[in-house]
Amino acid sequence: MAAAGSAGYLRRMTRMLVEDLEVSDAAEIADEARSQGAQCARECARGDEVRIFGELRSVQTCSKNAKAGVVAEFFDGTDTVKLKWLGRNRIPGIEPGRRLWVTGRIGEQDGVKVIFNPYYDLDGD
């Protein structure tokens, strides 16, 4: 019985630590974006022309023959925006963990904010 209680305690502690790291990571990204004068993704709406700063959380590429596109999950600490580059199978520098500036028009696809073929700046300038 004590082992079951210990496992539950460890599970709760692990969940709390992971959640705290995610919250602090989001706050760090949001603070950095705000300090650089970026717009807040949470406040952007469909049709808005935006310039946002954040981090790529995931990147999906297609096979060389398909050329369907590159899709990335972009997070600025306040909201997630899906970035879609059509007709590309790979983009150098577009990789998970990379922080960058993104410029484009916010759209919506399946209830998710999306920017098609965004301009991006890997240098952060």
Kindly list the domain boundaries of the chain, sorted by start residue: 2-121
DSSP 34-60: HHTTPPPGGG--TT-EEEEEEEEEEEE
- Identify the DSSP state of 125: -
> Class of the 2-121 domain?
mainly beta
Which pLDDT tens digits describe the chain residue by residue (125 residues)? 455 566 677 776 666 555 555 566 777 777 777 777 888 899 999 999 999 999 999 999 876 666 678 999 999 988 999 999 998 888 999 999 999 999 999 999 999 999 999 999 987 54
* Entry pTM: 0.75
- Identify the DSSP state of 41: G
